[in-house]
Amino acid sequence: MRTRKVGNEEEENRWRAAGPLGGQAEAGCLNRLWPMADPAVMNWRLLCGTGPAQCDPVCSFRMILEHRGRQPVVPESAYVAPTAVVCGAVVLGERARILHGAVLTAEDGDVRIGADVVVMENALVRGRSRHPAIVGDAVLIGPHAHVNGAVIGDECFVATGASVFPGAVVGPGSELRINSVVHVNSRLEPESVVPIGWIAAGDPAQLFSPDRHDELWEVQQALDFPGTVYGVDRATPMRTIMQRQVEFFGAHRDDRPVDPHAG
């Protein structure tokens, strides 16, 4: 990227002419950073009007990506931050807010986000073939939270660093507090509270503090994490698992940027 120094009118005209859209930028957009990447690759969108009052504060790119032939659906009322990633068969609800650094990725399954949902900075929501990620209405997914192939009911609070694994169901009105975990194939009753750092496991879920590992393992083992997440039994070597994972995620090499509002 390059920045400009404010100079005389001739210098400013020269800067406009050298912009990445071949001079299409307006004078009101000079005081900003210009991305120098190929727009066909980076899919950045210049959001300029005809003067300062109509000019978005940054020229930015948004990573809205087609994956496995499917494109995100982003309503006009939704907001996707310039540094967020929305990839594949993702459907955002009305007034959804996807903040900086968040990643919503439909690998080989859907991601569906309800209305009035906020996915905060650096959170991950991942959809899988057997376990789509479904988030209800009026849900907050906090910074660095991880929702992977799980169902989150309406009006839930998923705090910073909380993790919800494939096959899990979080009942409406529940609270997952900081760094809590809902394990694979576990089901939380409506209006449950998982305390800070605790683990919910089982169907229906029991709550375990981190120091109760042996008791947790008695429940957790039967939930079949390796079979649910990787499709293998527990004795499968890590090298074999990773060979499968590398091939699976290699499908992203064919991703392409799209404009969800085109046409």
Same domain, 18 and 121: no
Amino acid at 144: H
For residue 150, give Cα distances in angstroms to 108, 182, 259. Answer: 14, 9, 27
Sign of the CA dihedral running 225, 231, 236, 240: negative
The pLDDT value recorded for residue 10 is 56
Q: Which two tokens stand for residue 187?
A: 């089901």
Total domains, the chain: 2
Residues in the chain: 263
Same domain, 83 and 37: no
Q: How confident is the prediction along the chain (263 residues), in pLDDT tens digits per residue?
A: 333 343 455 544 554 554 444 443 333 333 333 333 434 334 433 333 333 333 343 334 569 999 999 999 999 999 999 999 999 999 999 999 999 999 999 999 999 999 999 999 999 999 999 999 999 999 999 999 999 999 999 999 999 999 999 999 999 999 999 999 999 999 999 999 999 999 999 999 999 999 999 999 999 999 999 999 999 999 999 999 999 999 999 999 999 999 877 76
What radius of gyration, in Å, describes the C-alpha atoms of the chain? Answer: 22
Nearest to 72 by CA among 262, 221, 243: 262
The pLDDT value recorded for residue 259 is 86
Q: Which two tokens stand for residue 249?
A: 């995620």
- What is the C-alpha separation between 30 and 50, in angstroms, rounded? 12
Residue the block writes with tokens 């930015």: 60
pTM of this prediction? Answer: 0.78
The pLDDT value recorded for residue 262 is 74
3-state secondary structure 114-166: CCCCEECCCCEEEECCCCCEEECCCCEECCCCEEECCEECCCCEECCCCEECC
Same domain, 72 and 49: no
Note down the domain range covering 31: 9-54
Same domain, 92 and 209: yes
The pLDDT value recorded for residue 47 is 34
In a domain, residue 252? The reply is: no
Same domain, 109 and 14: no
